[in-house]
Every structure is written in structure tokens, then in C-alpha cells.
Amino acid sequence: MKRFLTILLTTLALAGLLCVSASASSFDGPAAELSAIGMLKGGSGGFDLDKAPTRSQAAIMLVRLYGAEEEAKAAYAAGDLQCPFTDVNGTAAPFAAWLKDKGLASGTSETTFGGSEPCSAKAYTIFLLRALGYQDNVDFTAANAQEFAMGLGLLDTSALTGKFLRDDLAAMTYQALGMDRKDGSTYLLASLIESGAVDAAAAKPMTDKIEAYRALQASGAAAAQGLDTIVDAKMAMSLGVKGTEGGTSLDMTQKADATVKGRIQMVLDKELQMAMDLTVTATDGETTETEKMEYWLKDGVVYVRSGDMSYQMPMNMMGMDMEAFMALMEQASGKTSAAQLPFIDSITAKSSGDSTVYTLKLNNAFAGMINGLTGQILGVLAAEADLKMDMSLALDGSTLTYTVGKDGALKSAAADLTLKAGVKASDGKDSLTADVSADLDMTMEVKAMGKAVKISFPDFSGFEDLIGGAGGPTGIFTAA
């Protein structure tokens, strides 16, 4: 079970290090903040975040993002605007009419808007891009709108599975308000305040958060091209395992302390290159086990060296789409790190010597984001032992700390997380389930960013092709 523990501990450590796109989450906090500035309005049932937004609701949000709600209502009341759509109610009619008049939204026909039909993630992404000043068929097309938006820093809506909900709409709207307009004049919420569409006093909690985060984001901007870090993680862990190993039943509870130390390098140019050199040490107070794990990703091929094993496998062998993985790593390294905004409950900035220390308290939605990340990490790490693994993860508390030097560059980052995970693993012969709780304290020292990052790859000529089964690496449930 040594290899299982090694992979599990490494996964938990990396889960605290990287931040990627959102999965199914609950953005109650962002929804409440949007309500405070008049951007999102609920009904008797609250914000109905678990329901799909309609096209009418999306249209109302778009007009508000243009700062034109009062203009649209006044023009409609005065008869200066006529709504050609017969399927929108009195509440939505001024908004649909204004969008039609400005050429910003069309109906499903000359006389129908499809107001009660659900709005898709792609459609709302296009709405947000328009609000930011980008133009259809000039800056983006309907086909590439989501990819274009993610490159700007919007949430990766193409990764959303299942029905697009008001929950997702709230997160995307919140994110868009902190993003620069196309002309670079200011960010969207600031422009709405300047125009008088949003009250400055009501918006101050949001603007304080956005401006602090924008400063932090700028400190790590170079990581979009490359990142070289020293990682030091400590965990106090409680582990309960049930299942079989070599045909023998397992039922055990164990407490252990673990450390993960090493180096992680990523170069994101035209194609992702990556290197990880990690040493994982776990002790239960009586015995101590140490495993050195080395991984490289080069030209779409993963190379692994662990103990006396050295093998290689293409990314697609693990069922992972290289383009999707590249997008994940771009987000993890900071290229689209602005997409963290909906996950931040609060952010403070304090001077410490010649540096500035930013402390981020994360909200409950962050657990959903981490779940998406752990699934990707497990896909890579579990392949070492020809395993099928599944993990669900929750966070009881989460604080991230970033130190920025006087030159404005990111120097270090730290994470203090309380994790709870449920894991299932099988190698086709044995299977087990594990319940894990862990207090994670991790630091990440930034050695280099951008073009200064250089990866030295070993000679891969002796790395055998991974076929799996008996010819593959030693199974995770064996004693080796």
C-alpha cells in the first residue's frame, strides 16, 4: 500500500498548490455581493442559484453590465423603445427592447425572444464579452468565444458539465466585473461606478477586493510563460482504509505525518513542458517510508522515474486531452489566475519590510475548484501504478498567503488548508476505499518566472514504453 499512500499524499499536496477552473460549486457569497450593488436580484426563494437562468434573465444582466438599466426602463416607459417580442413579460420587455435596438441581442425570430428558454454557458459568455467591449466576428466568433474568454481571464465555461445554472452566471458576472475593458481604460465595475450606474459606496467592498487582487495578479503575470518553484508541504493526516490487498481483507485506521519536498517547473510557450522532482516521506510514529518521484512532460509524452523503474507514456494513453491539460496548466501557472475572484471571501494587504503580504480567505466554492484539480492530478499520478482512482474532496478552511517583493514580483506563496477526502482505488484485482482528513501547511518559493525558467531533461532513451498489466509498473497494492 506504500505506492497508494505516496500518490494520495502527493495529490493532496498538489491540490493545495494549484488553482484551476471551477467545477460545480456554490457561489452564494458572490451572489450576495452582486445583489448589494443591484446587479443580481432574487425573489421570494432567494437567488435560485440551483436553477438555470433564462434568456430573459441573462438579457437583464447584460443591460445592467452596460450600465443602461435606468435608460432602458425610461425609454420604454416613454414609448421611445418598442419591444417586438411577444414572449417576454413586462419586467424583461424594456431590457430585450434595448438590446434589440442596440444590436446586442436578437430574438429567436422577428417576434419571439425565447425569453423563458434556458441561457447556455456559451451564450452568456458572449454576452459578457460584449459588455467588456469585444465585438462578434471581430475579436471572437461564436465558435471560439469560450476559449477566447478563458484566455482573457474569465472562468472556463467550456469545462462546466451539466446544466448551466444561475450559480455559474453569478460567478462569471463577478469575474467579469473585475476584468479590464477592451480599450484598457479601466476594469468593468470601475467604469460602471464612473458612469453612475453603480453606487461607489455600495460597491466599495467589491472594489477593494478587486483592486487588491489585481495588484497580486500582476505580481505573478510572468508565470504565464514559465514557473520554477521549490515546494515544502507538511501534513498531519488521519487515514481509514477498507478493502483488500493480495486477496486479504483490510480494515485499518492510521494517523500519520507526511512531508512533500521538491521542485516543480513549468514552461508554457507553444507547448507545455513540465518537470517534478518530489520526495514524499510518511511516518506513523513507528515506521517511516520515503519515496522519490520524478515526472517530466515533454512533447506530449510523460516520463516517470520511481525507484528502479523508468517508463514513458503519451498523454492520450491516460485518457487526458493534451489541449485541455495545457489550458489547466496555464490557469495553474497564473495565465488566467484572475478567474479566482469568485472564490475569494476576503483579501488583505499588509507591508512586511520591503515586501507586501497578501492574505486570501477563500469561500466554500473553492472546494469545488479543488475537486476539479485533484481529478486531473490523479489521472497523471495513478497511471504510474495502472490504477483506477476517484477522489472527492472538501475544505473546512482555506487561507492563501502571497509575498510580493518591492520590485512587484511574486516571491513566495503559502497555503493553510484543512482537507477531507474520500478515495476509491482499484488495480483490477484488489480495491480499497479510504477516508482521509489532513491539515496541510505548504510553502512555495518562487525561484524564477517567465523566460528565466529553464528545464533540464534527462536522457529518455532508456525509458521503456508503458503497456500496462504484467508488463507495466509495479502495482500499487504490492509490497514492492
pLDDT score recorded for residue 382 = 57
Residue 457 sits at φ, ψ, to 5 deg, of -90, 145
Alpha-helical regions (H) of 238-395: 322-333, 365-381
pLDDT score recorded for residue 163 = 80
Dihedral (C-alpha) 194, 196, 200, 202: value to the nearest 10 degrees? Answer: -150
Q: 304 near 295, Cβ under 8 Å? A: yes
CB neighbours (10 Å) of residue 342?
27
pLDDT-flagged residues of the chain (< 70): 1-25, 44-45, 156-162, 315-339, 366-387, 391, 393, 466-480
Q: Which residue has the cell 507591508?
A: 351
pLDDT score recorded for residue 14 = 53
Q: In whole angstroms, how large is the CA radius of gyration of the chain?
A: 25
CB neighbours (10 Å) of residue 386?
19
pLDDT score recorded for residue 178 = 94
pTM of the model: 0.77
Give the integer Cα–Cα distance in Å for 117 and 173: 20
pLDDT score recorded for residue 456 = 94
pLDDT score recorded for residue 428 = 76
